[in-house]
Structure 1
Amino acid sequence: MRWALGLAFSLMTINAQGQKHSRCVVDDRDREVCLGAPAQRIAALSPGATELTYASGAGDQVVAVVSYSDYPPEAKEVQSVGSHTRMDLEALVTLRPDLVIGWTTGNPPEQLETIEALGLPVFYIEPRGVDGVASVIERLARLAGTESVGQKVADEFRKGMAEVEDRYQDRDPVPTFYQVWDEPLMSINDEHLIGQVVRMCGGANVFGDQQRLVPRLDDEAVLAANPEAIIAGGMGEENRDWLTHWEQYDELEAVAQGNLFFVPPSLIQRPTPRLLEGTKLLCEKLETARERR
């Protein structure tokens, strides 16, 4: 209670300053978030949020991150306040952030509500498309006062993704299964950002019509879909074990053609500018599958 009251007093003092020059943006929950001055002490509550904040040019203002915030390398030196699923709120408050970057579907709602109740501005992110990633960077830059850096990064990302799409989207379709998790077995539908990447590369997502953004499956469903290519991340940047599992099924077209492909998860499963690198890699894998026909 003492730390909460102390924070509330500090926030009233901060909020009383600089209100004439508010910086306002709309977050991914359609809420307006306004700051009286550029954020100087930012807490990023997911690895993706950390990357996006650095990409916006505000890396020097980051004072708190969560576990697995490993990019860029300097983010590993910032104090961690727990994991994205369970933050240490007392440690977070002690760092006196003036902006918190929350992950809409990844952070515990009750903890984000507590943070808001204490008076801390929370900017919710949930980029669902290429432009969504670029837009988050632009809006974070607005809140942090780093507009010139953020705009350049956002523009380069949009341009790079458009070039990849122009190159690959009209290639012969490759029926593709993207594995996003192993236990339980999970994939993505066409509305998911990764599903959009598969489509940009000329892939045909075999579970694209599923209603859930991240559908749960079993081996039998994959066998029935019989994808020509299987693409997986893994539990680490070099862990290909998820692909090894599928080698037992000789009847799978992807196995018969040798089309079991690994893409480092941080390049494709985080909605950050590095998605461009991951997209290029995924497109190259599907092009390899075409060449093996």
Structure 2
Amino acid sequence: MSRRLAVLLLSSLLVLAGCASHEQNEDSTAKPDTEATFPVTIGSVTIDSQPTRIVSLSPSATETLFAVGAGQQVVAVDSYSDYPKEAPHTSLSALSPDPEAIAGYRPDLVVVAADNTGLAAALAKTGTKTLVMPDAKNLDEAYAQFVELGKATGHQAEGESLANQTRSDIDKIVAGTPKPAKPLSYYYELDQTYYSATSATFIGQVLGRFGLTNIADGNDPSNSGGYPQLSAERILQADPSLIFLADSTCCGQNAQTVGARPGWNTLTAVKQGHIFALDEDIASRWSPRIVDLARAVSDAVTRAEQ
């Protein structure tokens, strides 16, 4: 299995991305919002006062924190958090978080996608709260996290507004997309060894909004945790109408390279030019940029119906 895919599966659909290192800014503590109401409880975590020094170890959470207006409160983000550009990028690892390195930023709140290493317990010894924002399994869970991160940072109204606006935007995109005369099938490629994502995954749920049939589902979409490795023979036999590539930037895949694979020139998607490269970050995160993902899928369906 490729390292890129291992990161995707083991750390909340993270993809490999470049990172830049910034010096720790001791003067970056954000001023508290006097209008925010605290304490607030998110899940099992109670946050006593508005956090002013946040460390985010989740690319999806990083994007959302900035989108709800909490960007000035963020003092450090992990090496995979490459958006937005103004985020204070560091070499902190989201896969193998180092409590000592994180504590060096003097955070009062740490946001992670998972805690499989006892990070929360280690940071609790320093008085730091750890908020786990796990993989969103569907759009509703993503919207709920927008609200929760807003609430946790003193921007509840902004979080609710972001959730409502994102939901509305996606609903409008779906409603405005042509309905295929007959169901369109698709193959979603994570890497060149034919790992894919079924309709049981977050990405599969988004594409499912457009009435597309996922060839990776088989008899059980939850098989292999929703990320099965297909064979070239299975893909050729399924003959998908559309091919979505989530390995264009990392691995140089495009319509030409796909069409050059043995036997793939016979596929409907290849013959009709319905191969679509997706932004790999947008396609792997449950952040507000899922609107851009929905728009890309809509454009693909529209093109296929022309």
TM-score by length of 1: 0.81
Q: What secondary structure sits across from 1:123 in the alignment?
A: strand
Kept after mapping to 1: 8 A contact 2:249/2:280: yes
Q: Which residue among 279, 293, 299 is the counterpart of 1:264?
A: 279
Give the deviation of 1:236 after TM superposition: 2.8
CA deviation map 1:187-223 (0-9, x unaligned): 1111211111212123211113432322222322211
Determine the structure 2 residue equivalent to 1:180. 190
Determine the structure 1 residue equivalent to 2:132. 124
Kept after mapping to 2: 8 A contact 1:64/1:81: no
- The CA RMSD over aligned residues, in Å, is 2.3
Q: 2: distance between equivalents of 1:112 and 1:222?
A: 41
TM-score by length of 2: 0.78
Determine the structure 1 residue equivalent to 2:97. 87
Determine the structure 2 residue equivalent to 1:194. 203
Task: Assess, with a 3 A threshold, how the Cα gap between structure 1 residues 93 and 165 changes in structure 2: closer, same or farther.
Answer: same
Q: Do structure 1's residue 22 and structure 2's residue 31 form an aligned pair? A: no
% identical equivalent positions: 27
Give the deviation of 1:81 after TM superposition: 4.0
Moved more, 276-285 or 216-225: 216-225
Give the deviation of 1:159 after TM superposition: 0.7
Task: Assess, with a 3 A threshold, how the Cα gap between structure 1 residues 100 and 167 changes in structure 2: closer, same or farther.
Answer: same
Q: Which residue among 274, 285, 293 is the counterpart of 2:300?
A: 285
| Contiguous gaps of at least 5 residues in structure 1 | 1-19, 27-31
Kept after mapping to 2: 8 A contact 1:169/1:199: no
Structure number with greater CO (CA < 8 Å, separation at least 6) is 2
Q: 1: distance between equivalents of 2:158 and 2:61?
A: 17
Q: 2: distance between equivalents of 1:36 and 1:117?
A: 14
Kept after mapping to 2: 8 A contact 1:233/1:240: no
Q: Which residue among 50, 54, 78 is the counterpart of 1:38?
A: 50
Which one has a larger percent helix, Structure 1 or Structure 2?
Answer: 1
Q: Which residue among 190, 215, 225 is the counterpart of 2:228?
A: 215
| Contiguous gaps of at least 5 residues in structure 2 | 1-36
Moved more, 139-148 or 171-180: 171-180
Q: 1: distance between equivalents of 2:233 and 2:146?
A: 40
Q: Do structure 1's residue 154 and structure 2's residue 167 form an aligned pair? A: no
Give the deviation of 1:273 after TM superposition: 0.8
